[in-house]
Amino acid sequence: MPAMPIRLYNTLSAKIEDLNPIDANRIRMYACGPTVYDYGHIGNFRTFIAVDLLYRFLLQSGYDVRYVMNITDVDDRILSNAARDGVTVQQYTAKYTQAFLEDSATLNVAPPALVRATDHIQEMAEFIAGLVQKGFAYRTDDGSYYFRIAKFPDYGKLSKKDFAGMTDGARVDVDEYEKDSARDFALWKAPKPGEASWDTPIGPGRPGWHIECSVMSMEELGPSFDLHAGGEDLIFPHHENEIAQSESLSGQQFARHWFHARFLLVEGQKMSKSLGNFYTLRDLVLKGHKPSSIRWLLTQVPYRNQLNFTFDGLNAAASSVEKLRNFRFRLTSSQFPAGSNAAIAQLATESAERVTAALSDDLNTAEAQGAIFDMLRKSNTALDAGEVHQEDALSLLAALDRFDAIFAVLKDDDQPKMKAILDWAKAEGRADISPQLEELAGSAQLADDQINQKLADMEAARKARNFKLSDTLRAELTNAGIIVENTKEGVRWRRK
């Protein structure tokens, strides 16, 4: 069966287009991963989650997807920080690579195939040698290599910059540089005294950041592949340079489709340490926020629109996730009459279709979420009126679970994840652990069986009219972060 068509904005064509894979039904995609010199912040995860939603939706739509992400474990900051701390590059980056993997799992980011820059240094040197041979790169006296942008007339086609007035031979050798800098950029940098370097056939030194992604993506996916993703800040120079290097060497189109997530703001401003509005994922969990609320918030605004992160928004996200989980709980734990009700069956089908249609339209997450909340409201009304039958409950659940295969917030596993971050924070001696986190992470102390036992004891005490005991048991549960609710369908509990 052919996979479903998906429309996406392509930065290269500046249009919304059908994603049209090179091989039918197969998508080869690459996302620029983290530079592992610090813990990931929520801006990073805004982009990684946007790509995660795309990946999950492609899979759900019937594509066979090969999704590769790199770990940038060589760059200017990493090498100088490692030298400053007197450790090897490997020692310096291992901690942050591990943290990135843990944080991705905390946010239910489906794992891509990961590749590390340090495992591909020799291939980078070969790639550069190939560019020199074709006249696209040159060596300077100190042993560095630069890309000659004057040789690549398409330079600027992704970022839509006009570099007509550029000076041939002007060079820039830092990984990140100004947005209007039309200069020959470094492919390879001669060793800096005191910093790590690698011995290769083109001489000793280290790769520039841009060459890393060209080499790893082409190694893993071939010279031409379907989609390349990252945050919008990477359009220039990083992705423009990747195109120049790759197309110069291969003579073929590099990535056909370019997917860029808009930059996240925090409380209306660019996130920065100096403004005090800079948050890693872990900072937010330490304040007592659940990973599922954070994930939901980061998906609420479609990836090309500006998401403004606020704490009010985060609290609202928590309550949305709560509503969805309660709805699912109601569907799985209530008794329904046999049979089906055509109106509800239709509601389930139409809602699932609306979700799919929204996501196929340039990944319109807001609209998809709106559709599922419409379904929730109408279903709750029908549930209150006793109009939902056994088969309808299953259809509604199927629609909900299909939605959650993309959004991934329904599984009630915040507590163990928060506990892991609490333990990490204690080991690190962090001073900013909130009482909320202690409380939410602490509910692990009671296993499911123990909770059920206490509930049974509570019920028995109530029947025996021993209200003092039943109140004590309820208080024990509440103190352990367990919410007990009396509903029409009986007593039920969940973790806060």
User: Hey, is 227 helix, strand or coil?
Assistant: strand
Binding of Zn ion by 216 (CB under 5 A): no
Residues 6+ apart with CB under 8 A from 22: 28, 224, 225, 226, 256
Which window, 62-70, 140-148, 191-199, 230-238, contacts ligand AMP (CB under 6 A)? 230-238
245 binds, among Zn ion, ligand AMP, none (CB under 5 to 8 A by kind): none
Q: Is the peptide bond before 223 cis (omega within 30 degrees of 0)?
A: no
Closest C-alpha to 400, from 371, 439, 420, 357? 371
Query: How near is the Cβ of 360 to ligand AMP at its closest, in Å?
Result: 23
- Residue 257 binding: pick among ligand AMP, Zn ion, none (C-beta 5-8 Å cut-off by kind): none
Q: How far apart are CA 193 and CA 4, in angstroms?
A: 54
- Number of residues forming the site for Zn ion (CB under 5 A): 2
Question: Contact, 205 vs 197, CB < 8 A?
Answer: yes
Min. distance of Cβ 182 from ligand AMP in angstroms? 21
Contact of residue 213 among Zn ion, ligand AMP, none (CB under 5-8 Å per partner type): Zn ion
Our finding on whether 43 is near ligand AMP (CB under 6 A) is yes
Q: Does 227 bind Zn ion (CB under 5 A)?
A: no
CB atoms within 10 A of CB 455: 19
To the nearest whole angstrom, how small is the minimum distance from the Cβ of residue 103 to Zn ion? 19
**Position 149 contacts Zn ion (CB under 5 A):** no
User: Is the CB of 254 or the CB of 327 nearer to ligand AMP?
Assistant: 254
Q: Which of residues 54-113 bind ligand AMP (CB under 6 A)?
A: 72
> Binding to ligand AMP by residue 46, rule CB under 6 A?
yes
Give 35 or 292: the residue with its C-beta nearer to ligand AMP.
35
CA atoms of 265 and 274, how far apart (whole Å): 14
Q: In this structure, are residues 342 and 394 in contact, taking their beta carbons and an 8 Å threshold?
A: no
C-alpha 245: how far from chain center: 27
Decide which of Zn ion, ligand AMP, none touches 302; Cβ closer than 5 to 8 Å per partner kind: none
Can you tell me whether residue 302 is helix, strand or coil? coil
- With CB under 6 A as the contact rule, the residue among 34, 291, 302, 481 that binds ligand AMP is 34
Chosen from Zn ion, ligand AMP, none, partner binding at 207 (C-beta under 5 to 8 Å by type): none
Q: Are 80 and 93 in contact (CB under 8 A)?
A: no
> Would you say 50 and 69 are in contact if contact means Cβ atoms under 8 Å apart?
no
Closer of 104 and 356 to ligand AMP (Cβ): 104
Spatial separation of the C-alpha atoms in residues 324 and 313, rounded to whole Å = 17
Contact call for residue 99 and Zn ion (CB under 5 A): no
264 contact choice in Zn ion, ligand AMP, none (CB below 5 to 8 Å, kind-dependent):
ligand AMP
Residue 269: exposed, middle, or buried by beta-carbon count in 10 A (0-12, 13-18, 19+)? exposed
The alpha carbon of 230 is separated from its chain's Cα centroid by a whole number of angstroms, namely 10
Residue nearest to ligand AMP (CB): 231
CB of 33 to Zn ion, least distance (A): 8
Q: Which stretch binds ligand AMP (CB under 6 A): 42-50, 246-254, 360-368, 371-379?
A: 42-50
213 near Zn ion (CB under 5 A): yes
Is 234 a binder of ligand AMP (CB under 6 A)? Answer: yes
CB of 72 to ligand AMP, least distance (A): 6
Alpha carbon distance 117, 144 (integer Å): 18
Which residue, 3, 476, 43, 51, is CA-closest to 259? Answer: 51
158 lines the binding site for Zn ion (CB under 5 A): no
Contact (Cβ atoms closer than 8 angstroms) between residue 235 and residue 12: no
301 binds, among ligand AMP, Zn ion, none (CB under 5 to 8 A by kind): none
b/e sequence 159-182, b meaning 16+ C-beta within 10 Å: bebebeebeeeeebbebeeeeeeb
CB 34 → ligand AMP: shortest distance, Å?
4
User: Which residues make Cβ contacts (< 8 Å) with residue 114, sequence separation at least 6?
Assistant: 33, 68, 69, 70, 71
Q: Does 231 engage in binding with ligand AMP (CB under 6 A)?
A: yes
Site mask, Zn ion, residues 28-57, x = CB under 5 A? ----x-------------------------
What is the rounded CA–CA span in Å between residue 414 and residue 440?
9
Of residues 257 through 316, those in contact with ligand AMP by CB under 6 A are 261, 263-264, 271
Q: Which stretch binds ligand AMP (CB under 6 A): 231-239, 297-305, 424-432, 485-493?
A: 231-239
Q: Which residues contribute to the site for Zn ion (CB under 5 A)? A: 32, 213
Q: Which residues contribute to the site for ligand AMP (CB under 6 A)? A: 32, 34-35, 43-44, 46-47, 72, 230-231, 233-234, 261, 263-264, 271
